[in-house]
Amino acid sequence: MNEIIVHPTAVVSPKAELGKGVEIGPYAVIGDHVRIGEGTVIMHHGVIECNAEIGAHCTIFPFSSVGTTPQDISFHNEDTFLHIGDHNVIREFTTINRGTSKGGNHTRIGDHNYLMAYVHIAHDCQVGSHTQFVNGATLAGHVTVEDYAVVGAFSSVHQFVRIGRHAYIGGYTIVLQDILPFSKVAQRRSSYSLYGPNSIGMMRNGFNRDFIDHVKDIYRIIFHSDLNLTQAIKKISEELPDSEEAAIIIGFIDKSKRGILKNFFPDA
């Protein structure tokens, strides 16, 4: 169906662009310079403030606030932007802020992501595709979350932290350092610990046994040897010279500015 449906109580700016089949529910507010892609549904009381691009076939649930100004005291109403891709589900009371000029002007979210209720994505975050954010998960500004990562309920991620692809962060975890791709992390009492590779997550996403075993070998070298990180990377490169998984993990480490989490919990 290509008909655009706008409820009579909704407020839609004349400067907004609505694609085919878009539905805007009761009391929703769509601001200036908002573009909404084909088949996307904004349910009742949803707010898309301004300068936001929403892709096709997304669903934004009631009382979500998307494209709002960043929670940054240095922000002075500059023109900054939010880009959300296709097939995303954004549940109730989620907040997603636009970027800041000092952070590159753009907050970005990819495709096929599932954001549960009360999730917060702050300014200048870069979120990939096929991620999951469980209820209350929070990203501070400038956080990068790569494809297929899972951020558990009520977990908080410090600004500028990077979360690698296929990583899993357990609920109520405070993340202060970069989380390696394919890893599993959870809060444990007063500290948080790396529990090894996210083997179950990798199997569910179609990785073969050799790939998973290589990731385990890499983790053993990094976390269970007496080598420092530089020595561990050298050994990984020598033992797995043509390994895709080694290239992914080493490339991630090379770009780390906050350092990687190395508090390994050996009893896991």
Q: Which amino acid is at 243?
A: S
Q: Where are the domains of the chain?
A: 5-142, 202-254
**pTM, full prediction:** 0.94
86 is catalytic: no
The pLDDT tens digits for 215-239 are 999 999 998 888 999 999 999 999 9
Would you place residue 266 in the very low, low, confident or very high pLDDT band (cuts 50, 70, 90)? very low
The percent of residues in the chain predicted with pLDDT above 70, rounded, is 95
Q: Which of 86, 111, 124, 147 is catalytic?
A: 124
Q: Which of 123, 142, 166, 214 is catalytic?
A: 123
Contact between 141 and 158 under an 8 Å Cβ cutoff? The reply is no
31 is catalytic: no
CB atoms within 10 A of CB 261: 18
The pLDDT tens digits for 65-101 are 999 999 999 999 999 999 999 999 999 999 999 999 9
124 is catalytic: yes
User: Per-residue pLDDT averaged across 244-263, rounded?
Assistant: 92
CATH of 5-142, one of 1.10.760.10, 3.40.630.30, 2.160.10.10, 3.40.50.2300: 2.160.10.10
CATH of 202-254, one of 1.10.3470, 1.20.990, 1.20.1180, 1.20.1530: 1.20.1180
The pLDDT tens digits for 23-61 are 999 999 999 999 999 999 999 999 999 999 999 999 999
* Interstrand relation of 183-188 and 168-169 (parallel, antiparallel or unpaired): parallel
